Chains A and B, each alone.
Chain A
Amino acid sequence: MSDVCVVDYGAGNLRSLRHGLERAGATVTVTSDPNVVAAAGRVLVPGVGAAGAAMAALERRELAPAIRSAAATGSHVFGICLGMQLLFERSDEGDVECLGLLPGRVTAMTFARRLPHMGWNDVTADDGHPLAAGLPAVCYFAHSYAVEPADPADVVATTELDGRRFASMAGAGRVAGTQFHPEKSGPAGRALLRSFLAWSGDAA
C-alpha cells in the first residue's frame, strides 16, 4: 500500500484519477493544502485546461512552491497531461513560466495535421525507466502542446503523430510524467499507475 497526494488546484476531473489510483492499490489524499503537498512522499500533479490558468491557480494557492519543495526533499513527483507539461521550465501556451523541475519547454504541435491530438496512440519506451515497464502500450491522449526536454536523456517514451515523434513520457531523478492519461487508458494505464506507486529511488 502506498500513499499518494493528488494536488487539487481546481483542474477538473480528479475523481477518475483518484479511483484509478485506488484500484492500483493506493491510499489517496486529494488536497489543495500546500503543507500537505510539501510533506508528501508521492505527489501527483493532474491537469486539464490551459497552462497559464493552471500555473496561476498553483501560484495563487501556494501550491507551486509546495510541489518544488516536495521535489527538493526527495519526493516522487508525477505529472499527467498538462500536469506533466507544468513540470518543465516554460510553456508556449500563454508564454508562462512553469515549475522548472525538468529542463525544457512546452511547444505547440504545429506539425500535426489534426489538433487536438485526441484518442488512442502508441507509446514506445526508449529506455529502462522504472515507470516504463508496461510499455509499449496504446494509451489515451487529449492535447495540443507537447514537452521538449532539453536533455534527450529525459525522454522516457515517445509517440508518433503525422510523421513526427514527440515525448509522451519524460522524467529525470524522481520527477516524471506522461502526456497521455493513464487513468483513462484501460489495463495499460492501470499498470503504469501501479509502477508509480511502487517507484522507489531515482530513475536510471
Chain B
Amino acid sequence: MLRRRVIPCLDVRGGRLVKGVQFRELRDCGDPVVAAERYAEAGADEIVWLNIDAHAEAWQELLRAVERAAERVDVPLCVGGGIDRPERARELLLAGADKISVNSAALHTPDLIDRLAEMLGTQCVVVAMDASRGDGGWWTYSRGGMQATGIEAIGWAEEVQRRGGGELIVTSIDADGGRRGYDLELIRRIRERVRVPVIASGGAGGAADIVAALQAGADAALAASIFHDGETTPDDVKREVAACGLPARV
C-alpha cells in the first residue's frame, strides 16, 4: 500500500542551512547535507530544500551542496527556490536533485510548468503555492508570500495539474509559523479537485497536526521547526500516523 509521507523542509542559503522567523534574523545552522542525512536516518520519506537566495554566487553554492547530498542521502531530495527558467531546474537535476519545485515564477509565467514537464517529466516537477484566505476563498501569493497575484488558489491547483505539474506543495500563509495546525479546509478543497499528490505545508506544531492533515486527504505533510528544534523526529511522527490507522513507512 502506498505510504503517506512525512517530509522535513530545510531552508538553505548559499549552500548553508539557515533558520529564522519568516526569513528574518537568519542564523547559520550548519551544513544542510549533514542535516538531510540525519533526517533520512531518522525516517524522513523525502527531504525538501528551500533555497532562499537566488543570486548567482549563492546558486553555485547550492548546486555544490546538492552534489554532496546526492552522494550521501539515499531518500529523494526535492529542491526549490529561485527556479525562474528551465536551465536552473536542469542544473539542479544534473547536480543530483530528484525533483525540483517552482513557485513564484510559475505564477508569473505559467507556461514554465509545461516546459519543465516536457523537459524533465511530470514526476520531477513539483509546484509549490503559498495561499491565504480572503473574500470567501484562498488566493495565491508570490515572492515568499509577500506579493498578491490575484490568482485564486483552487483554480490554480487545477491549472498546475493541467499544465503537467506532478505534485503540489500547498502552504497556508495564515497557518505558517503559528504551529497550530495546517489549514485543513484548504487541503480538503484542493484534494477534491486534483488527482496529483498534495503535500500539506505550514502550521505543524506536532505529530497530531500531521495526522490531521493526512486524514484530511493530504498524501504527505511537510514540516520544519518541529524537526529542527529536536522536539520530534519523522520516525516518531510516522508511528503516530500508523497508530491512527494510516499507512506509514515505519
Contacts and interface: CB of A to CB of B under 8 A. Distances in A.
Interface of A: 12-13, 15-16, 19-20, 48-50, 53, 82, 113-122, 138, 140, 142-144, 160-161, 181, 183-186, 189-190
B37 to A, nearest CB: 12
Contact of A118 (B93, B118, B120, B167): B167
B76 interface: yes
29 contacts: A12-B93, A12-B94, A12-B120, A12-B124, A13-B94, A15-B70, A15-B94, A15-B95, A15-B96, A48-B121, A49-B119, A114-B195, A114-B197, A116-B122, A118-B123, A118-B166, A119-B3, A119-B197, A120-B5, A120-B45, A120-B249, A121-B2, A138-B249, A142-B99, A142-B123, A143-B123, A181-B98, A183-B74, A186-B74
Contacts of B74: 16, 20, 183-186, 189-190
B214 interface: no
Contacts of B72: 19
Interface of B: 1-5, 40, 45-46, 67, 70-76, 90, 93-99, 118-124, 166-167, 195-197, 219-220, 249
A16 B45 contact: no
Contact of B93 (A13, A161, A185, A186): A13
B98 A115 contact: no
A9 to B, nearest CB: 13
B219 A49 contact: no
A116 B96 contact: no
Contacts of B93: 12-13, 48
- Give the one of B40, B93, B123 with max A CB within 10 A: B123
Given A114-B196, A119-B45, A121-B1, A82 B96 contact: no
A180 B234 CA distance: 22
Nearest to B72: A19
A160 B75 contact: no
A117 B94 CA distance: 23
